[in-house]
Amino acid sequence: MSDYLPPIWVSLRTVLTATSITFILGILAARWLVRYSGRLKDILDGLFILPMVLPPTVVGYALLMFFGVHGPAGQFLANFGFKMVFSWWGTVVAAVIMSFPLMYMTARGAFEQVEPNLQDAARTLGASEWRVFWTVTLPMAWPGVVAGTVLALARTLGEFGATLMLAGNIPGRTTTIPVAIYFAIQSGDNHRAGVLTMVVLAFSLTSLIFIGFWKRRSKRKGMLGN
Amino acid sequence: MLRARIKRSLPGFELNVELSLERELMAILGPSGSGKTMTLQCIAGLTKPDEGYIELDGQVLFDSTARVNLPPQKRRVGFVFQNYALFPLMTVAENIAYSIRCLPKSEIRAKISHLLNIMNISPLSERYPRQLSAGQQQRAAIARALAPDPAMLLLDEPFSALDPQLKERLELELLALQQGYQGSMLLVTHDLAEGYKLGGRVAVYHGGSIAQCDTRQRVFSTPVNRTVARLTGVHNFMDGEISRLEPPFGWVNIPAWNMQLKAHLPASGLSIGRQVVLGIRPEYIQINPPARATNMIGARVLQAVEGIASVTYRLLVDGDWRERHLLNSLLPKADEQLLAEKEPCQLHLPPEHLIVIPE
């Protein structure tokens, strides 16, 4: 049994850390782009969604180049004695990049659905732009934001390709559940792969059921548009 | 006191208006798409004009030449939205308190109860907007807009979602509220009766500009052109030419009917030979009057539509078979028999109700 725990533990820490980061970055990016009306809007939007349509190995390769010994971020971080490649933080970075589009897209859609009159009303009542966001936009968009968070969380849990390329397979440090399943199959340990698969399956299904439940509850409370 | 000059271009539309308000309630009247709501948004700072100048109580809110553009937060302009835009996740009291959270707690409480009181919604303070009727929502929205003591109140079609009896009552309440309010109020409506009842002065919008802005009596009795007349409820028009002056009346020759009509002339100098349009409201055409008078013409009923307290007739004037001069009349239902279709009748167009519009 203790054999199964290290990947579960690594995944748990990665999922929680990465989802928290994605949550904040996704909301900030969504809020910024909803308000931004410059010429680069479509380009930025495409850039934010890009990781979702790229093969994970392509993202992994790009991250490896970026954070590698000769990459710009790699050289910068080396000044502080920090190495991203083959470290636990590598699993977090890969998971954040891959889950960010889901969070961003869902949050942006939720923000755009908030009736503009409500925000205008808050403005004429003297609320600063940040107060409008905290007291009107975010609460009204909250069901969508939560749905995006759950989707992002499921994506970080399932992240495999980019993680393997950037963080590798170091048991107890960078071996997440999906990576462990892959190497279990490779070495013929079907039982180990099966148990870990069941863990992921149970978790993902629970998340989806939770989203459905949450949406119904929010509708009753008058959120989620009209 | 508001002074505003606003220019804003959109593809296929240009808003270009000038407004000046004292401590009064002015109604903006006009068809949809004429720029009424955009004017309010420009004053509140929710939309930026391309060009112009807006000043409220001596404070410059917007000045395109001096590059001044105060954000809505700093304008002290209250806004009542068409759909009220109450915050759905806050109670009525929380909605009202939204703009005054910096005051001491006791003052906030006193202010909320005062506003709830004057808007007659005291028992509803802990309700959420979805638990309120449309009329209650409107009262809550006005209370919320008044909370920060705005220097001016803008109301965007506040009565359009209400049923007739409720609308009537809330209109009276708004007039009473205006009596005690120290700022200006600007109300947008497309309802003629509402505009007349509420607005001391009325600005008639058409295609992004103000066709006429004057006291309601003058706008409705002496419209400056055919468009204003039509927008203010004049449905019948006759082209003619002034043939004789008899101050304060004049005679207008109507070639299509081959007859002369006597009409009250506006003060401005109209001379003989001047092309004019005569207009008359449907309410003022009399059918089969008891005694003969001036301005009688023979006609026939084309269509009669019976309402609750009135009858609408479409009338074809004798000798005018081109059907260009159909008249619409709206009469209070009398005891006598309704006129049937095709029935001949005599029409009286009272000279004092004929509107003379210079072309």
Query: Each residue of B150-176: pLDDT tens digit?
Result: 999 999 999 888 888 888 888 998 999
Q: Which helix (H) or strand (E) holds A196?
A: helix A190-220
**Does B189 have pLDDT greater than 50?**
yes
Which chain B residues are Cβ-neighbours of A122 within 8 angstroms?
A: 87, 98
Which chain A residues are Cβ-neighbours of B88 within 8 angstroms?
A: 118, 140, 222-223
**Does A199 have pLDDT greater than 70?**
yes
- The pLDDT > 70 percentage for chain A reads 96
**What is the secondary structure of B194-211 as a DSSP string?**
HHHHH-SEEEEEETTEEE
* pLDDT-based confidence at residue A226 (cuts at 50, 70, 90): very low
Task: Give Dmax over CA atoms of chain B in angstroms.
Answer: 77
The residues near B139 (Cβ < 8 Å, ≥ 6 apart) are: B119, B120, B121, B170
**Does B26 have pLDDT greater than 80?**
yes
Query: Each residue of B259-307: pLDDT tens digit?
Result: 899 998 877 778 888 889 999 888 888 888 888 888 888 888 888 888 8
Closest Cα in chain A to B156: A117
Q: Cβ contact (<8 Å) for A125 and B44? A: no
| Sign of the Cα pseudo-torsion (A123, A128, A131, A137, in order) | positive
Closest Cα in chain B to A139: B89
Mean pLDDT of A95-102: 96
Distance CA B207, CA B9 (A): 12
Distance CA B324, CA A81 (A): 92
Q: What is the model's pLDDT at position A2?
A: 59
Which residues make beta-bridge pairs with B8?
B15
Q: Cβ contact (<8 Å) for A126 and B148? A: yes
Which chain B residues are Cβ-neighbours of A127 within 8 angstroms?
A: 73, 98-99
Q: Cβ contact (<8 Å) for A123 and B77? A: no
- Crossing angle of helices A88-113 and A138-158, rounded to 10°: 150
Closest Cα in chain B to A125: B99
Q: What is the model's pLDDT at position B334?
A: 67
Determine contact, residues B116/B92, Cβ cutoff 8 Å: yes
Interface of A with B (CB under 8 A): 115, 117-118, 120-128, 135-136, 139-140, 221-223
Alpha helices by DSSP H, listed for chain B, are: 36-44, 92-97, 105-118, 134-146, 164-179, 192-198, 216-221, 226-231
Suggest the residue from B73, B102, B137 to mutate for an interface test with chain A (most A CBs closer than 10 A).
Answer: B73
Reported pTM: 0.84
Q: What is the model's pLDDT at position A219?
A: 74
Distance CA A22, CA A99 (A): 7
Which chain A residues are Cβ-neighbours of B130 within 8 angstroms?
A: 222
Q: Which two structure tokens, joined as six digits, stand for B107?
A: 């003052």
Distance CA A40, CA A51 (A): 18
Q: What is the model's pLDDT at position B325?
A: 57
Mean pLDDT of B115-124: 92
Phi, psi of B296 (to 5 degrees): -100, 135
